[in-house]
Amino acid sequence: MHRIRRITGADRRTLKVRAGQAQTANRRGNAFTLTLHRRLVTWLMLLAVSLFGLTSLAHAVETSIVVPAGDVVNGLSAGDVLCVKDGPGGYLFVGAGSSISAAGKVLVYTWDGSNWTHATTFTGSESGDGFGSSIAFGDSTLFIGAPNANGGIGSVTVFTVDGGGAWDSGTALPIPAQVVANWKFGTSLSYSPTADGGTGGQLAVGVPSAKLDGSGTAGTDCGRVYIYSNSGGWSTATSTILTDVGIVAGDKLGESVVMIGNEVYASAPGTAERRGAVYLFKYDTSAWSLAAIFDDGEAANNDRRFGTSIAVSGNRMMIGATNGHDDDGTIDPVIKLAGAAYVFERTDATAAWSQTAKLQLTNPQSLSTFGSSVALNGDTAVIGAPGTPGTGQALYRMGKAYVFSYDGSSWSLANTLIPSDGASSDTFGKAIAIDGDYALVGSPAHDDSGTSTTNVGGVYMYHLPTLNMPSVAINIPVEGPFVFADLVDGDMTLTADATPSGSSTITSVEFFVDGTSIGTGTLNGGSYDITWSDVTWAQHELQVRTVTNENIAALSEPITVYATQSPRFDEQRLIANDGTSWDLFGYAVDVTVDNATGNEYAIVGAHGDQANGERAGSAYLFEKVDGTWTQVQKLTGPDADKYWEGFGFAVAIHGDK
């Protein structure tokens, strides 16, 4: 019997890593700097909201996995789930189980040496069955879950493939007798060939909507996990229940499962008002038992959904928390549903786990759901954020995927994967798989532009070693807390400097304002210039994107700035040329500009001035020419001889009045 250990943030050995704080020193790339030219006219004052922690992003040459024409239908949602086995040369399984009006599908691909080629498609038995919502593969055996089938009872179908690539017609996995409607048997799947020393491998099946808790008491969405052993064929396989007496209604144990050898990691993202937890079960000699419970170890953290995704590679584990808020005190205000991913490590298979890092984005955005999917291979992790917008705030929920690298002491952002044809609501990053040097990213809501079919979905493949990300940095002149740039007749000149690395060359430098491209810069003496026309006084986001001849693109995270028209700050003391005590000079002030000459005028009230009577008051007119203010006139009221007339108590000036 294993001692149950709760793994929390108290075990964390290193500080939380935020994307962009560290970059690998040997990274190839293009030096890229954005500067804003100054001119001696009206100043644009930009209050920079986020000018720190900027990191370079990229997408390299990508391969799109083609959905067969015969499978292209509205709502297919291919890429909702991914499973790749044995890398290129093996199989790629693309789940499309989100449709509510049609039976789900799983598209099967094989590698032909240069491309993924469609081999066959498996289709569910009823509309909205969720067939393909979960997939597991191993030992020439494919398992496909359909959690909505049979009135929500759910099902798992088992297919086998022979050495020639021919698949059988499939067989149903026996469903435990206690599983009833709306339990959603087969929501998650994970296969291990050597789970408990059996001869035919084992399968973990997550049932997060099971309505019996660990004590056998009825309750909605308690959840449980079933372990199947294949000793005499999958059609007759028997199951063992994994649960814990601490599981209660709403915990949803089994929403995600990962089975490796004699260990099963099962998430319960609904635990503790959706704070979330992950349970580790171990098989020891003759039985499964609970060995550890993982959580995020953070305070005030309800509704984080820790355990939304799980990935294990050797003695390292990553757990996603899609609803995680950025509330660590470094960003104000709290960013809701930004998401996070937590790293746990152990020294060997017998040692205890401890939390070592928390990964988040430098510029988190609400509803990004970073951590919706995680994939881990040694020192490389790929994390999906399907709710992240595209350039700036445009392309709502286009989605991105982030590649992190571990250098032996800390994690850093190595790449950002951005779909070349991404569009709003694609949810790129919903599913991720890594096998060897390849990362595959699902985009289940992507539309087929060729047929005008919506939510067909798609999958993109990236070769990680060739993702030589250009280095991108935005540098805007800062004076104190403000950023200044100049307008010429409402226009601003932006300049970007791009330096290619190695033998690569820059093919384009594109500028974005508020998520919309304002065009490609023109090469001018080694820099790229563009005119930003009709600048408005409001909040803006600035970005730049460069592409090399190797089709490697670098996109900066957006800088949010607030623009407001103002004179450039200078200081000059205005004094009335006949001022005395108790004049109350400066009690009221107004300023105007003569559009014809560009000169500025100020009217300054002094309602306590002696004038022609005791404190009758006056006002002084000043003119600014070539940067210098000079008094040009003193104004008094018609009743300037009256005691405390108060002339100048309020002033206003506009044009010649």
Q: What is the DSSP string of 139-196?
A: TTEEEEE-TTHHHHTB-EEEEEB-TTS-B---EEPPPPTT--TTS-BTSEEEEETTSS
Q: Which residues pair with 43 in a beta bridge?
A: 486
Q: Using CA of residue 302, residue 22, residue 392, residue 35, what is the dihedral sign?
A: positive
- Is a pLDDT exceeding 50 seen at residue 566? no
Per-residue pLDDT, averaged over 594-604, amounts to 82
Give the pLDDT confidence score for residue 646 in this predicted structure: 82
Place of tokens 């001869």: 199
Q: Which residues pair with 319 in a beta bridge?
A: 310, 342
Give the pLDDT confidence score for residue 133 in this predicted structure: 95
Percent of the chain with pLDDT over 70: 74
Cα separation, 37 vs 476, whole angstroms: 10
Give the pLDDT confidence score for residue 612 in this predicted structure: 61
Cα separation, 500 vs 314, whole angstroms: 37
Q: Is the pTM of this model over 0.75?
A: no
Residue 185 CA to its chain's centroid (Å): 30
Cα separation, 433 vs 441, whole angstroms: 7
**Domain ranges (residues) in the chain:** 5-55+472-565, 575-657
Q: Which residues pair with 364 in a beta bridge?
A: none
**Residue 568 Cα distances to 38, 531, 542, 603, angstroms:** 12, 21, 22, 19
Give the pLDDT confidence score for residue 56 in this predicted structure: 32
Average pLDDT taken over every residue of the chain: 77
* Element containing residue 590 per DSSP (H, E): strand 585-593
pLDDT tens across 479-535, in order?
Answer: 333 444 444 455 677 777 776 655 667 788 888 887 788 888 888 777 788 887 777
pLDDT tens across 151-178, in order?
Answer: 999 999 999 999 888 999 999 999 999 9
Per-residue pLDDT, averaged over 374-402, amounts to 83
CATH topology of domain 5-55+472-565: Immunoglobulin-like (2.60.40)
